[in-house]
């Protein structure tokens, strides 16, 4: 039993350090194991989006998110300059979505014409355990 507990602790520690030592992760301890696989998908999603590869971004999303409006919204801000992952939240609910495991990534992004733009990428683990993007928010009101 002790070797198993030690192994689980080491695995959890590697997930946290792999995500980013400076990024705060909030949410139930038992759900934090899902951060790293979800982060890989979120990183690919946002990279596809930055490259205007909507088809690639949609392939990582549940129900093929309509991203055209988001692309047009962000195009008005010019070229993306920097993006920083500021925090991560895991949860077993995300109203009004059905209960499940959700991982939400919060970014602060700067563009040529807009220096600070909060963005969030929300993923849900499918029944098979595969992370899928269910929501992409851009808060341009700031």
Q: What DSSP string describes 37-66? A: HHHHHHHHHHHHHHTT-HHHHHHTBTT---
- Tell me what pLDDT residue 10 has: 35
Prediction pTM value: 0.79
Q: What is the pLDDT along the chain (142 residues), one digit of tens a residue?
A: 444 333 333 333 333 334 445 688 898 888 888 999 999 999 999 999 888 898 899 999 877 788 888 888 888 888 899 999 999 999 999 998 999 999 999 999 999 999 999 999 999 998 888 999 999 998 866 5
Classify 103 in phi/psi space as left (phi over 0), alpha (psi -120 to 50) or beta: beta
Domains of the chain: 23-138 (3.10.450)
How far apart are alpha carbons 128 and 38 in whole angstroms? 13
Question: To 10 degrees, what angle do helices 35-50 and 2-19 make?
Answer: 20
- Tell me what pLDDT residue 62 has: 79
């Amino acid at each position: 039993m002790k070797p198993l507990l030690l192994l689980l602790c080491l695995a959890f520690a590697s997930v946290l350090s792999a995500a980013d030592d400076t990024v705060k992760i909030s949410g139930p301890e038992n759900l934090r194991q899902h951060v790293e696989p979800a982060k890989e998908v979120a990183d690919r999603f946002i990279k596809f989006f930055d490259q205007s590869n909507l088809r690639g971004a949609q392939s990582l999303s549940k129900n093929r998110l309509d991203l055209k409006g988001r692309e047009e919204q962000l195009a008005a801000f010019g070229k993306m300059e920097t993006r920083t992952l500021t925090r991560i939240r895991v949860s077993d609910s995300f109203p009004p979505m059905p209960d499940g495991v959700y991982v939400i990534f919060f970014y602060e992004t700067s563009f040529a014409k807009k220096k600070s733009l909060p963005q969030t990428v929300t993923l849900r683990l499918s029944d098979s355990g595969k992370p899928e993007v269910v929501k992409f928010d851009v808060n341009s009101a700031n």
